[in-house]
């Protein structure tokens, strides 16, 4: 399979400085937060690539960069060999944008409360001047709702039903790529499984490629083909799903697995994660995880580890062996 999305040396910094006058009075320099730092990976066509990590690790920022909502500070995101940030051919940009949709974390916040469901779902096609006759009704039935629901408003649905409407809207323009930003985290566990199974079925039916953003390892294990683990904006480990869950190489990945609840480990005693996530404005030198790492050595605080291949796994750790 060929790489549909190719991300290279992706970096995104945000200016979080105080206003100019405050900086002059308090004699402060500008402050920058590095949300994503030198991240590189590929997403194969018709696959599910998952990004996992704690809150603030840069998962959602990468998702927004991929769909073009946020420009990168450095690096590139190529979709079918087209970089939306640098491409000058308007026709190429338009063609790539037509192939990407996004499902957001909060289904109610991403639906216009004043629009009927029919208009919400048909909007991506209507904006291009396409034929929307019967489109919403057909898509609602594909995502497990009734065609009669097209005339209703978002407040008339439950959380899981609203997320199905969001999925129907994402499918309306017949995309190849869907970026899913925590699509089930606002839902009950029973509804989560229904939505995830629906997404798996739609992937098979339409040949979709997912960039799946989540902090829930159970969801990721169910959905993903390949997983990237982010820490403080850096990709620290990447591997096929089974390889990662069977033999995690990076101490941070091992810490995530130890902290996750497991059905087969009732009553087990696990040491709580050590320390807090460092300040992204003033990150630690060397490996960002070294202040919390149980196996860190002096080299870890001085030298940032590069991604290297160990078996099927790419890992950024001096002591991964």
Evaluate whether residue 132 is within a structural domain: no
Evaluate whether residue 60 is within a structural domain: yes
- The predicted-structure confidence for 108-120, as pLDDT tens digits, reads as follows 888 999 999 999 9
Per DSSP, helices labelled H in the chain are: 20-26, 59-67, 90-97, 117-126, 135-142, 159-172, 189-206, 217-223, 241-246, 251-259, 298-302
Residues 101, 177: contact at Cβ < 8 Å?
A: yes
Evaluate whether residue 269 is within a structural domain: no
Evaluate whether residue 111 is within a structural domain: no
Q: How many domains does the chain have?
A: 1
Q: Say which residues have a Cβ less than 8 Å from residue 305's Cβ, sequence separation at least 6.
A: 286, 287, 316, 317, 318
Can you give the residue range of the structural domain that contains 285? 3-99+175-260+274-315
- The predicted-structure confidence for 255-264, as pLDDT tens digits, reads as follows 888 877 666 6
Evaluate whether residue 296 is within a structural domain: yes
Q: What is the pLDDT of residue 265?
A: 58
Evaluate whether residue 43 is within a structural domain: yes
**In this structure, what CATH number is given to the domain that contains residue 241?**
3.40.50.300
33: nearest Cα among 276, 304, 279: 279
Mean pLDDT of the residues in the chain? 89
Ramachandran angles phi, psi of 156, nearest 5°: -85, 5
Evaluate whether residue 240 is within a structural domain: yes
pTM value surpassing 0.85? yes
Evaluate whether residue 133 is within a structural domain: no
- The predicted-structure confidence for 24-75, as pLDDT tens digits, reads as follows 999 999 999 999 999 999 999 999 999 998 888 899 999 999 998 999 999 9
């Amino acid at each position: 399979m060929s790489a549909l999305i190719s991300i290279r040396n992706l970096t995104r910094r945000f200016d979080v400085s105080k206003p100019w006058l405050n900086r002059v009075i308090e004699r402060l320099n500008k402050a920058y937060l590095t949300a994503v730092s030198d991240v590189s990976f590929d997403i194969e066509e018709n696959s599910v690539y998952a990004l996992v990590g704690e809150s603030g690790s840069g998962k959602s920022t990468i998702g927004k960069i991929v769909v073009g909502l946020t420009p990168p500070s450095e690096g590139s995101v190529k979709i079918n060999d087209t970089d939306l940030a640098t491409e000058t051919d308007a026709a190429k940009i338009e063609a790539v944008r037509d192939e990407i949709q996004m499902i957001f974390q909060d289904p109610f916040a991403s639906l216009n409360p004043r629009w009927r469901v029919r208009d919400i779902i048909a909007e991506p096609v209507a904006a291009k001047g396409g034929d929307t006759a019967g489109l919403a009704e057909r898509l609602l039935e594909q995502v497990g709702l009734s065609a009669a629901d097209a005339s209703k408003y978002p407040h008339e649905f439950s959380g899981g039903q609203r997320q199905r409407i969001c999925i129907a809207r994402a499918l309306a323009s017949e995309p190849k790529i869907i970026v899913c930003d925590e699509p089930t985290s606002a839902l009950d566990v029973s509804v989560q499984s229904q939505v995830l199974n629906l997404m798996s079925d739609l992937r098979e039916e339409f040949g979709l490629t997912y960039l799946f953003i989540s902090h829930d390892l159970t969801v990721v294990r169910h959905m993903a083909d390949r997983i990237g683990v982010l820490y403080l904006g850096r990709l620290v480990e990447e591997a096929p799903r089974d390889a990662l869950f069977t033999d995690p190489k990076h101490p941070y990945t091992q810490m995530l697995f130890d902290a996750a609840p497991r059905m087969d480990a009732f009553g087990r005693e696990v040491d709580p994660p050590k320390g807090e996530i460092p300040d992204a404005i003033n990150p630690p030198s060397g490996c960002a995880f070294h202040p919390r790492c149980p196996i860190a050595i002096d080299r870890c605080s001085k030298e940032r580890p590069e991604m290297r291949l160990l078996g099927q796994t790419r890992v950024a750790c001096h002591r991964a062996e």
